[in-house]
Structure 1
Amino acid sequence: MSMVLRGAAVAALAVAAVLALIWAFIYGGSAELGVLDRVGPTVLWLLLAAKLVFNLAAACTAGPLVLALFVVAPDEPAHRQALRFAGYSALVWALAAGVFAVANFQVIANMPLVSDGFVPALFAFLIDEDPGRSGLMATGIAATTALLCFVVRRQSAVALTAALAFSGLIPLVLNSHAAGGADHADSTMSLYLHSAAAVVWLGGLAGLLWLRPSLEPGRLGTVVRRYSTLALLSFIVLAVSGVLAAWVAIGSLTQIGTPYGVIVLFKSAAFTILGIFGALHRLWVIRRLDSVPPRAARYFWSLVVVELAVMGTASGLAASLARTETPTSLGLAASQDPPPAPTLGNVLSQWELDPLWSVVCAVGVFTYLAGVRRTRKAGRRWPASRTVLWLTGMVLLFLVTNGGTHVYQGYLFNAHVVTQMLLTAVVPLFLVMAAPLTLAELTIRPRTDGSTGCLEMTRSILRPVLKMTAATPYLPVLLLAGTLVVFYYSPLLGYAALSQLGYGIVTLLALSSGCLYMAALTAVPAPGQQLQLTVRLGAVVGTALLFGVYGQAISAQATVLEQPWYTAVGRPWGQHPFIAPELAGTIMWVIAGGALATAALIIVLRRTVLRRTVGDRAAESLEENPHPEPGISPKASILR
């Protein structure tokens, strides 16, 4: 039965993918040869087929590695089968990447395989040209991943192998159809997120099918439920990143009728069908895997075969899109002009969606609200104020990373400082006070089979770090000082001004360091630790001095620090009053002052509440023991 099921699934995936690829490639006009073409249609179709196999094999490599990390236990046979399946898939991936690199060279250089000087020209292409280096890098990463899959056993090594597999998606993404968008950096990030989410969804489902015979009786429901959570998160990432990538490539709704737009519509229809299948899994099939396992399992595997067929269709369309001209690359979209002068109204009205942080905000809102719903469904109370704080923090994060500050941070040093300070000092206040880790510990089911989930990662990694920083508040202060040095006195400053990736790195560092700092300051101490709260107030004062010194320094050196922005875009609005880089120090002082004052107020309130709690407990102790030991007060006995 298992062999028949695997054969049906492979056939459904392959046939649907090939048919969709052929239709989209012909319909999109990419199959038409140029007048001076010398390589012929065979190489063009080989290039496209290699790209399709590349995508499917990469998914069947990274997806099972994710299953080995988060779904199955390290000591069960399914874990070894997942690594073996990933290894075989990585070998196919490496072969497809090599074929793609050679065929891509033939198409770009317009050189048939039997041409004179083909081999030296190919080597020069692989070493000197970006498309060649990308193909060579992808081949090397896939081959290394294949080797590791057959030798690693420890979960830490599996995690590194999975990270390597996901990095293998980057080289060809950089040379894919993202380049056709108006903003190459933004569209490349959208495409990478889209590809990574698709890899987890498709590869995880294919890996689940491969693992079926090795799963112990009664494990199917647990394994499918865990995979379903990963698939749901992938669905959200695919939806957000797909919309952003399509918008960058198409440019406007008037171009939806172009061949590229029509193919995107068909791909969106396949995605919608997959979403319906996912809902059927979560609402109907998974619930019955525990109650009526044999019957529910038949329904589940039948849906899997059909689902893989739809995924194959989407994969074929995606591979064809990589060779289809986008409306924006054909000049059908408006050119990118500088935004209007940075007045308050213009800053509030400008938008430029960032793929990564749009996805982060969408996933953050969804998972938190899902946790609140599960908490209330279990009969527990969760303060509405915390939910409001989290949603407010997510809205602020979205505005900072997608609104006017994001638009102008690529033009003005001042806007860069505003972005960095809001992410370091303001957004973390809301996110930390919403207690997301506490909510996770209340709602996520602990695992007892030795596998690793979000709860286990929270308890083994995040909680110890937060406990250490709360006990020694000067550590996050030092971390904050270090990040400021990196932000303003390292090459990252210029990289953030000129690169979307650099901007993403700065954003991540600012937000993570700010959250760690605020979590250390506002954590609820145990009874008897009032002195720790006093130390935290001292840390706030030290941080205020730190920002004061840095604010003065960047104001004094503003002209030098502004050079990456001035070199890149100049001053398109003339001598506008909000452009002066010397205002950066004042901006830092104002934002830091407000955030630190709020943090100090929270610490004082924590201290007041703790004193009242200790006093109440002391009174209760005195009532129970009216004759305490001589020389020891009831309050002191409690604090010991």
Structure 2
Amino acid sequence: MSSRSAAAYPRRVSTDAPAAVPTDGPAGPRPRRPLLSVVALLLPGVALAAVLAAAITSVTAGDVFETLGLPDPGTFTRLGLPVAKVIAEVGAVVCVGSLLFAAFLVPPQKSGTLSVDGYAALRTAGWSAFVWFLGSALLVPFIAADVAGRPVTEMLRPRVLVDLVDAVEQAKAWTITTVIALVVAIGCRLVLSWGWTAVLFGLSLGGLLPVVVSGHSASGGAHDLATNSLLYHLFGASLWIGGLVALVAHAARRGDHLALATRRFSLVALVCWIAMALSGVINALVRLPIGELLTSDYGRLVLAKIGALLALFWFGYTQRRRAVRAVVDRGSPTTLLQLGAVEVLVMLATVGLSVALGRTPPPGSLGFVPDRMERLIGYELHGPPTLTRLLFDWRFDLVYGTAALVLAGLYVAGVIRLRRRGDRWPVGRTIAWIAGTLSLLMATSSGIGRYSPGMFSVHMGGHMILSMLVPILLVLGAPVTLALRAIKPAGRDAPPGPREWLLAFVHSPISRVLTHPLVALVLFVGSFYGLYFSGLFDVALSEHWAHLAMNAHFLIAGYVFFWPVIGVDPSPRPLPPLARIGLMFAAMVFHAFFGIALMMSRSVIGEIFYRDLNLPWVTDLLGDQRLGGGLSWATGEFPVIVVVIALVVQWARADERAARRTDRRADADGDADLTAYNAMLAKLAETDRGPRA
């Protein structure tokens, strides 16, 4: 993934120069300055979105200030805040979509450097990231003024602004987003390789997270469902809207591989629409009673957004089929440009509705104060965690529960594809993978996941499942090998596809660094000490996004540790058998010390949070913590047993495969190796008899 210097990049990357003859698009010179076509495409939609957001917010926000008796920050702040938010969000979605286009919708050159079209999309992403940065930076004083009820001009004093940013979560979140957007904008000016473009794409998606976890969905009751559904909604909207803008801009500059980019984006758009529709319904049900759908401002805005999504579905499902057919069959981008421009306009109007919806309080939320348990964990716990409740008191986790079901479905689909073409796949690997996904589902969506935020002992039990049991079962399922066998190769001269992207990631420097024995050991075991004994866990307990991040860390750290130890897939850093056993036992020693340290500790980890939660059946916090330490210590033996069994089985199968290869070679060459060996022994015997005679 190394970047190339600007001097080494071919001169044809300049977006001002005429391009070469396209490979699957219409022939002819491309228009100059393609960034102007993007601006011309976006300006009407951005203006419409800003007007909608400002007009609706001026009414709903005024009602909020009047109802709660809060000081009004003034018309300029009330109108300027939604306009700044529209600018920031449009910049974000265009940046994300352009990076998606440059990394995955058009192929790079064979050297790994971006092609002309990829570089043009990267430049668009850079300018969009700069707009995202400006809009986010502008939002910080507007949000501070809105919360303080003072004009925004008073927020421009550094001392006042810093104090309010530190106190207001949304202002703090937009400050973090501002920094990420600036890093992405600078990165788009520096990189030229496909690998680093993919990294910037991931970073741009990460820049959307701080705002999601700090809005009104992250507070109040059921904030876990509201926040998780909003994650899907925002990611889907960003990829769909931004990807369409990039595709239409690509068609306007008559770029290469237009048919390929259109087919790939159509699949992305379908997945994004499904994610947006389902997550939007869930988020609305959490915040809006059905009876308030027609009688409240929030409900009417939800209905307007539903209408916009249905219109977008009509564009995507019926109209774009004509555009795709016109591009694929005739190589003409005219239909795509016409329909795409109208669809972008509707999408940006939907962005304006979303901004207004985010500024409108749900019915019944004004002055509503959730009880202690709903405020801290988002839902009620109806009694002590009995075995029945841990197994059957489910609350589906939209992030990890959905991930478990999707991973299981994709794996089964890959196995079915292999069997249909006559290839075999070991049943044991399938059983291991399905067991791993079921364990992930149980740890996050059953009673274990439900009680985990409220009790340290249950949290530690879920931690052990996510960091030890689930990764072991997943690596034994050999998902990379299955994917490489099930996905069709792109071919020597064809553009790279999912199979080539997967290979590039497996052999990337990131994978090599993560699977280094010392790095994997520190991530797997060192994070236990760093999380629980540094005070970080105390800070993370009250934040839903921190629970999501902890679960992700447990899974990733466990997977990169067990992959080179017992993984069936080839590791970027293969280890000899003794090194595998040594690494495993070193990890278990440190893990055992961690469990003992928890059991012997005299201070309660997360004491402030647990005392504020005050569960009636947890009267001894230190005893509950010691129980969690005992679970951690006791479960440390299980991975050793599984790893030793897996290594013995793998060695036995390796010997059997070696023996079979030797037998096949002997059958093919008439046992030439054995004949030559016997001849050598006979010659040595004659040489030995000669001196004796």
Q: Which residue of 1 aligns with 2:400?
A: 357
Bigger mean CA offset, 193-202 vs 15-24 = 15-24
Query: Following TM superposition, by how much is the alpha carbon of 1:408 offset from its aligned partner in structure 2, in angstroms?
Result: 2.0
Q: Using CA pairs below 8 Å that are at least 6 residues apart, which structure has the higher relative contact order?
A: 1
Distance 1:429 1:134, change over 3 A: closer
Aligned partner of residue 360 in structure 2, secondary structure: coil
User: Is 1:437 matched with 2:515?
Assistant: no
Q: 1:45 to 1:462 in 2, by over 3 A?
A: same
SS for the counterpart of 1:581 is helix
**Structure with larger Rg:** 2
2:241 alignment counterpart = 202
Shift of 1:464: 7.2
SS for the counterpart of 2:359 is coil
Q: Distance in 1 between matches of 2:144 and 2:592?
A: 55
Post-superposition Cα deviations, 1:277-314, rounded to whole Å, max 9, x if no partner, equal 545589776477434433xx444444423432332242
The question of whether the paired residues in 2 share the 8 Å contact of 1:12 and 1:308 is answered with no
Q: Deviations over 1:209-249 (max 9, x none)?
A: 112244545x1111223334444554455356545544543
Aligned to 1:263: 301
CA contact (8 A) 1:145 1:164 kept: yes
Which residue, 638, 641, 647 being the options, matches 1:603?
A: 647
1:184-223 equivalences in 2 (<5 Å): 187-188=226-227, 190-217=229-256, 219-223=257-261
Q: Determine the C-alpha separation between the residues in 1 that align with 2:370 and 2:78.
A: 31
Q: Which residue does the alignment assign to 1:629?
A: 677
Question: 2:6 matched to which residue of 1?
Answer: none
* Mapped contact 2:141–2:155 kept (Cα < 8 A): no
In the alignment, is the contact (CA less than 8 A) between 2:220 and 2:369 conserved in 1? no
CA distance in 1, matches of 2:531, 2:343: 46
Q: In structure 2, do the counterparts of structure 1 residues 344 and 593 end up closer, same or farther at CA, with 3 Å as the change threshold?
A: same
Partner of 1:290: 328
Aligned positions of 1:10-89 closer than 5 A:
10=42, 13-14=45-46, 17=49, 21=53, 25=57, 34=66, 40-41=74-75, 43-72=77-106, 73=108, 74-89=113-128
Letter in 1 for 2:122: L
**Sequence identity percentage:** 25
- What corresponds to 2:542 in structure 1? 498
Amino acid of the structure 1 residue aligned with 2:385: P
Q: Give, as a single letter, the amino acid of the residue that structure 1 aligns with 2:308.
A: A
Change (3 A) 1:333 1:222: farther
The answer to whether residue 448 in structure 2 is matched with residue 424 in structure 1 is no
Contact 2:102 2:114 in 1 (8 A): no
Instruction: Check whether the contact 2:228–2:399 (CA below 8 A) recurs between aligned residues.
Output: yes
Range moving further from structure 2, 54-63 or 256-265: 256-265
Cα 1:479–1:315 shift into 2, 3 Å: closer
Greater CA deviation, 378-387 or 607-616? 378-387
Aligned letter for 1:211? Answer: H
Q: Which amino acid in the other structure matches residue 348 of structure 2?
A: G
Residue from 481, 503, 520 that aligns with 2:564: 520
* 1:353-379 CA-partner distances (Å, limit 9, x unpaired): 545434534553454455456656766
Matches of 2:569 and 2:345, distance apart in 1 = 54
CA–CA distance in structure 1, aligned partners of residues 213 and 473 of structure 2? 36
Structure 1 residue 418: deviation in Å? 0.6
Shift of 1:422: 0.1
357-366 or 509-518, larger mean C-alpha shift = 357-366
Cα distance in 2, alignment partners of residues 584 and 49 from structure 1 = 49
Query: Which of 329, 344, 348 is 2:365 aligned to?
Result: 329
What do you get for the CA RMSD once the two structures are aligned? 4.5
The question of whether the paired residues in 1 share the 8 Å contact of 2:127 and 2:185 is answered with yes
Q: Name the CA shift for 1:16/1:425 in 2 (closer, same or farther; >3 Å).
A: same
One-letter code aligned to 1:522: I
Change (3 A) 1:425 1:149: closer
2:503 is matched with which residue? 459
Deviation at 1:414, TM superposition (A): 0.9
- AA aligned opposite 1:309: L
5+ long unaligned stretches in structure 1 = 634-640
My pick for the range that moved more, 84-93 or 167-176, is: 167-176
Residue 127 of structure 1, aligned match among 124, 140, 162 = 162
Letter in 2 for 1:410: P
> Which has the larger displacement, 534-543 or 333-342?
534-543
Q: Which amino acid aligns with 1:196?
A: F
15 and 342 in structure 1: CA distance in 2 versus 1, 3 angstrom threshold: same
Contact 2:475–2:569 (Cα < 8 Å) also in 1 = no
Matched pairs, number = 622
Q: Is the 8 A contact 2:305 2:354 kept in 1?
A: yes
1:551 counterpart (575, 585, 595):
595
Q: Which residue of 1 aligns with 2:22?
A: none
Moved more, 366-375 or 507-516: 366-375
Q: 1:42 to 1:493 in 2, by over 3 A?
A: closer
Change (3 A) 1:474 1:394: same
Amino acid at match of 1:59: V
- Alignment equivalent of 1:404, drawn from 416, 426, 447: 447
- Tell me, yes or no, if the aligned pair for 2:174 and 2:211 is still in contact at 8 Å: yes
**Preserved CA contact (<8 Å) 1:342 1:578:** no
**Aligned residue for 1:637?**
none
Deviations 1:471-496 (A, max 9, x none): 99787556533233334433333234
Query: How far off its partner does 1:320 sit?
Result: 0.7
Residue 390 of structure 2, aligned match among 347, 361, 378: 347
Q: 1:423 is aligned with what amino acid? A: L
Partner of 2:690: none
1:314 alignment counterpart? 350
Q: Matched residues in 2 for 1:491 and 1:571: separation?
A: 22
Normalising to structure 2: TM-score of the pair? 0.75
More displaced, 547-556 or 537-546?
A: 537-546
Which of 178, 183, 193 does residue 217 from structure 2 map onto? 178
Q: 405-414 or 170-179: which moved more?
A: 170-179
Per the TM alignment, residue 317 of structure 1 is displaced from its structure 2 partner at its CA by: 1.7
Please report the TM-score for the alignment, with normalisation by the length of structure 1: 0.80
Residue 638 of structure 1: aligned partner? none
Q: Distance in 2 between matches of 1:375 and 1:265?
A: 45
Q: CA deviation at 1:431?
A: 2.0
> Any idea what the Cα deviations from partners look like across 1:526-581, whole Å, max 9, x if unmatched?
9xxx9955664565555555544443332223754464654443452155899633
| Structure 2 counterpart SS, 1:129 | helix
The separation in 2 between residues aligned to 1:94 and 1:580, in whole angstroms, is 46
* Range with greater deviation from structure 2 (202-211 or 401-410): 401-410
* Alpha-carbon distance in structure 2 between the residues aligned to 1:346 and 1:511: 24
| 8 Å Cα contact 2:597-2:629 kept in structure 1 | yes
Displacement after TM superposition at 1:64 (Å): 0.8
Deviation at 1:200, TM superposition (A): 2.0
Report the CA distance shift for 1:161/1:246 in structure 2 as closer, same or farther (over 3 A): same
Given residue 542 of structure 2, which amino acid in structure 1 is its aligned partner?
L
Letter in structure 2 aligned against 1:86? A
Q: Which moved more, 1:205-214 or 1:228-237?
A: 228-237
- Of 481, 485, 488, the residue aligned with 2:529 is 485
